[in-house]
Structure 1
Amino acid sequence: MNGMTPLHLAVWYSLRAEDCSTVKTLLEYNADCSAKDNEGMTPLNHLAQGPGSEKLQKLLHWHLEEQRKRKAIEACSETKAKMDELENEISNVVGLHELKVQLRKWAKGMLLDERRRALGLKVGARRSPHMAFLGNPGTGKTMVARILGKLLHMVGILPTDKVTEVQRTDLVGEFVGHTGPKTRRKIKDAEGGILFVDEAYRLIPMQKADDKDYGLEALEEIMSVMDSGKVVVIFAGYSEPMKRVIASNEGFCRRVTKFFYFNDFSSEELAKILHIKMNNQAEESSLYGFKLHPSCTEEAVAALIESETTEKQRKEMNGGLVDPMLVNARENLDLRLSFDCIDTDEIQTITLEDLEAGLHLLSRTS
């Protein structure tokens, strides 16, 4: 009725009967010494400081410390598993050294807090900061947001790992009174996770001649909930146009405290992305079951990309160049194979020739 556990009751009885046998039996079966009743009292709290309770206090204190040690060991094991999971996710992110360091810092700090609590220590709850991801399309902003969602959920900062991706058209209405409710619905959808506002600069038009633009209203709706702790907001877009968003609201830099710059990928980094994609194909992918020929080393693919694409093309597409390149390469493989081919290795191996053909086709269409 009052939240007492069997151990609470046994302690209460032992004080009066001067018989610790029930307490000892419960402790042998790992009864929780830190359990609290409805008044926030542990079994130890119920012990009077008078004569006769010293033996019981010593017994409970010893078991309490043993339980804390066990919880700490269990928490340590769980922490290592979670850090391994994070490192596995980060291994698929190319470049972005500064951001990776920050992700590891957050993860380690949050997981150490878990261990502190397992040791019975009281520590304040952490809240993830709101962020801005600045860079050109194809530099991995959306992918990193999804990894961040998994991380924040994994360490208990967010109740879900969902990332709700929105753009201007998802937030801004065409008439007076439409934008507020439309934006609030999207914010509601994102609660418990991350609201990822892609091309956020489009909320603030370059020209202010159009008095009927409601992008600023959508931005203000988002800003109004950023202090609630219900959602983490990430604004993403080109570095230069995003300055309009930052300047449009005086509270922006107070709420958005982390800015990360996503640089354009080099040919070497694009080759690394290509290899990662080929090694991590999902079953629903059209490239599932295919592999690269041994001649398609990262160095060879980087040299191919460097020679067959222009700097402008790489800057405009970045990581977006890799998927169509691979799809075109697979089509070229199909084109050059004979129906009589029965070599199981040859029939599923993409060569450097196929990759080159894939880039040629891509160059003609871009």
Structure 2
Amino acid sequence: MPDDVASPPAIDLAAAFESSGVGAVLDQLDNELVGLRPVKRRIREIAALLLVDKIRSEAGLTAQPPTLHMSFTGNPGTGKTTVAARMADILHRLGYIRSNHLVSVTRDDLVGQYIGHTAPKTKEILKKAMGGVLFIDEAYYLYRPENERDYGQEAIEILLQVMESRRNDLVVIMAGYADRMDRFFTSNPGFRSRIAHHIDFPDYTAEELMAIAEMMLTQQNYRFSPAAQEAFARYITARMTQPHFSNARSVRNALDRARLRQAVRLFETQGHAITVDDLMTIEPDEILASRVFAAAQEQAQ
């Protein structure tokens, strides 16, 4: 290269990452969600890819924007909606969408009950989500081949068209159980071809669920007594073996019921003065009163 020809300026990826604000979003994700290391690693990888793609585009190296539609698979209560919200933040900060707003819907929000009802409903939701992220939970319920009069197929066709024609202004994240999502994509190959990133959300371990419970209580200014903490660990072990278990969602529901029982206990002792410590502390009886323990005993017999 001749001496009088200037070398292209070096690109400081670390500085670009810092200025994008994506690091703060990833830190927030770490703080919000216990565990989920494979998911967090995939989100970091996608963020790195999108940041590099953005820099390549600015350097004139990219001719076409990346495909951003995603699929989140896993059991209920594994953080899919929370991760979708943080993904909206990342996409917005990198300039791939105009806003970080997330519109979360199910089949009922998209599919009508009579002829001529589905298209307006679906288009209204798409209009509301445009410029941001549309999160479709249990997306496989859109497709019901056993019902010839079902209007889900009309919603699917509109979604497919918009996912392609407006992919620079809308990101669609579809979520649900892994096996059902696989069947859904097999039956609707148009979706699979438009989705670039598939992320699987593992179930939480018992230890992670206990950490989630304590984090939830702390956020609400509650805490377990030592005996209640031991009782709740037993609750988690039993609940994980029973039907309709939904990870962090089941933990949240159990804590709501424990807080209710604590309130009743405190109210019934209104003839005695109570302390701030009393108001904050969950005792073992609030946990052991759960029907989960009775059901666990029945299973063992």
TM over 0.5: yes
Residue of structure 2 aligned with 1:162, choices 80, 83, 101:
101
Q: Residue 322 of structure 1 is aligned with which of 231, 234, 251?
A: 251
Give secondary structure in 1 for the equivalent of 2:173.
strand
Against the structure 1 CA distance between its residues 103 and 257, is the aligned structure 2 distance closer, same or farther, given a 3 Å change threshold? same
Letter in 2 for 1:247: T
TM-score by length of 2: 0.79
1:332 counterpart = 2:261: yes
Q: What is the CA distance between 1:328 and its match in structure 2?
A: 1.6
1:264-317 CA-partner distances (Å, limit 9, x unpaired): 3332222122122223x3xxxxxx3333335666x774344214x35123x533
Task: Name the SS of the counterpart of 2:196 in structure 1.
Answer: strand
Preserved CA contact (<8 Å) 2:224 2:281: yes
Equivalent position SS for 1:251: helix
Q: Contact 2:105/2:135 (CA < 8 Å) preserved in 1? A: yes
CA distance in 1, matches of 2:116, 2:279: 59
Match of 2:283 in 1: 351
Which runs of 5 or more structure 1 residues have no equivalent in the other structure? 1-60, 282-287
Q: Which residue of 2 aligns with 1:305?
A: 236
**Equivalent position SS for 1:312:** coil
Q: CA separation in 2, counterparts of 1:145 and 1:185?
A: 21
Counterpart check, 1:223 vs 2:153? no
Identify the residue that residue 153 of structure 1 maps to in structure 2: 92
Amino acid at match of 2:29: E
Taking CA–CA contacts closer than 8 Å with sequence separation of 6 or more, which of the two structures ends up with the larger relative contact order?
2
Q: Using a 3 Å threshold, how does the CA distance of structure 1 residues 115 and 349 change in structure 2: closer, same or farther?
A: farther
**Cα RMSD, aligned residues only:** 3.3
Larger Rg: 1
Cα distance change of structure 1 residues 349 and 224 upon mapping to structure 2, 3 Å threshold: same
In structure 2, C-alpha distance between the alignment counterparts of 1:102 and 1:274, rounded to whole Å: 25
Instruction: Name the CA distance, whole Å, in 2 between partners of 1:245 and 1:146.
Output: 24
Question: In structure 2, what is the Cα distance between the partners aligned to 1:132 and 1:363?
Answer: 38
1:47-126 correspondence runs (5 A) = 77-79=18-20, 82-111=22-51, 121-122=59-60, 124=62
What is the alpha-carbon distance in structure 2 between the residues aligned to residue 74 and residue 238 of structure 1? Answer: 39
Kept after mapping to 2: 8 A contact 1:324/1:362: no
* Alpha-carbon distance between aligned partners in 2 of 1:220 and 1:324, rounded to the nearest angstrom: 37
Cα separation, 2, equivalents of 1:247 and 1:76: 37
Equivalent pair of 2:25/2:89 in contact (CA under 8 Å): no
**For the structure 1 residues 363 and 139, does the alpha-carbon distance in structure 2 shift closer, same or farther, using more than 3 Å as the test?**
farther
Distance (Å, rounded) in 1 between the aligned partners of 2:13 and 2:90: 21
Q: Does 1:247 align with 2:186?
A: yes
| Alpha carbons 1:341, 1:347 under 8 Å: kept | no
Please, which runs of 5 or more residues in structure 2 have no aligned partner? 1-5, 296-301
Q: Distance in 1 between the 2:17 and 2:155 partners? A: 43
- When normalised by structure 1's length, the TM-score is 0.66
**Alignment-mate amino acid for residue 160 of structure 2:** M
Q: Partner residue of 1:57? A: none
How many residue pairs are counted as aligned between the two chains? 285
Measure, in 2, the Cα distance between the counterparts of 1:147 and 1:219: 26
1:196 aligns with 2:135: yes
Instruction: Kindly state the Cα deviation for residue 360 of structure 1 after the two structures are TM-superposed.
Output: 3.6
Secondary structure (helix, strand or coil) at the match of 1:91 reads helix
Pairwise mapping of residues 221-300 of structure 1 onto structure 2 (< 5 A)?
A: 221-227=158-164, 228-229=166-167, 230-279=169-218, 281=219, 288-293=220-225
Task: Tell me: CA distance 1:83–1:240, structure 2 relative to 1, closer, same or farther (3 Å).
Answer: same
Secondary structure, counterpart of 1:270 in structure 2:
helix
For each residue in 1:302-349, what CA deviation from the matched residue of structure 2 results, as whole angstroms up to 9, or x when unmatched? 344214x35123x53322211221122112222333322332222222
The letter for the 2-side match of 1:302 is A
Counterpart-to-counterpart distance in 2, 1:294 and 1:87: 31
Superposed displacement of residue 189, structure 1: 0.9
Q: Specify the SS of the correspondent of 1:94.
A: coil
